[in-house]
Homo-oligomer: A and B are copies of this chain.
Amino acid sequence: MDFIKKPREIEDRSMELIAPHLAPYHLSEVETKIYSRIIHAAGDVEYAPLIHLHPQAVAAAQQALRAGASIYTDVEMVRTGINKRKLASFGGEVHCLIADPDVAAFAKASGITRSMAAMRRFGPALDGSIVAIGNAPTALYEVLRLVEEEGMRPACIVGIPVGFVGAADSKEQLRRNPFVPYITVEGTKGGSPIAAAVVNALMYDLDDTRF
């Protein structure tokens, strides 16, 4: 069996194969990295026309990362997918409360999802942070409520929940919010590797020493 076995070569070749699919979008270098890593994570070039970057999102997110901002996420798979060693090199860490017993008890008592209860529990810690949602539309709805009703101001929301119940609508609401810059994907597609890929692309653009 003859195939490429070196990690750097695999990634470089993958980015080369993705590049022609991005030609129509006239992207900056960092935007190209974000689009490429999303497509790389999904194995799906049809993501390209669905990606939406708020004009201030990259600058706001990278400024926060450089200053050591933490990342708040809805599910453990996003935490697992984020390069935590790289994040720690800037001073940040990833927080996820989905498995917290108090959050689970509160969710059950309130008849809401655990990821929704988890975002509520983060509360004011969300100010200045990066929120990364890769699974639960309910978590994104709750973050938008915290922004709109309680004045929380994350630096950037990477909002890429997945599925057929609420994902498309919650991402549409994210794009209509006038308060916080966002990175999102329209429609039903998304998921934890996609949200983690965006966060990693933002970090690798600041400091690409991984191999």
The answer to whether A137 touches B3 (Cβ under 8 A) is yes
A191 and B44 CA atoms in complex are apart in Å by 11
Please give the distance in Å from A99's CB to the nearest CB on chain B.
Answer: 10
Copies in the complex: 2
In the complex, what residues of B have CB within 8 A of residue A33's CB? none
By beta carbon, the residue of chain B nearest A189 is: B43
Q: How large is the interface on A (under 10, 10 to 19, 20 to 34, 35 or more residues)?
A: 35 or more
Whether, in the assembled complex, A201 has its beta carbon less than 8 Å from a beta carbon of chain B, the answer is no
* Chain A residues numbered 66-90 whose CB sits less than 8 Å from any CB in chain B: 76-77, 79-81
Question: Which A positions have Cβ atoms within 8 angstroms of B?
Answer: 1, 3-7, 10, 13-14, 17-18, 40-44, 76-77, 79-81, 111-114, 116, 137-138, 141, 144-145, 162-167, 169-170, 173, 187-193
